[in-house]
Amino acid sequence: MSFASVYKVLFKRNSIFVGTVFVGAFLFQTTFDSAITKWYENHNKGKLWKDVKARIGAPEEAEDDE
């Protein structure tokens, strides 16, 4: 795909260009966020609440005096 065809498809009209920028930014944001979250959870495995909660155990149920 040459630059001229990319220009005709994506950049010639301002509305298409703005839409392309928004879609690109949205896709980048979701990909970047999921990648960083996976890295963070892998890097801090065993230190996060979801990991510690199982070791601490569920809180004891309140006993009814009835």
More confident residue, 28 or 52: 28
Q: Check residue 22 and report its DSSP letter.
A: H
More confident residue, 59 or 35: 35
Residues 6+ apart with CB under 8 A from 48: 41
Task: Give the SS3 label for residue 10.
Answer: helix
Give the number of other CB atoms < 10 A from CB of residue 44.
Answer: 10
* pLDDT tens-digit map of 23-40: 999 999 999 999 999 999
Which pLDDT score is estimated for 61? 60
The residue among 23, 20, 41, 21 whose CA lies nearest residue 31 is 23
Report yes or no on whether pTM surpasses 0.85. Answer: no
Which pLDDT score is estimated for 2? 83
Which pLDDT score is estimated for 54? 80
**Tokens encoding 28:** 């980048």
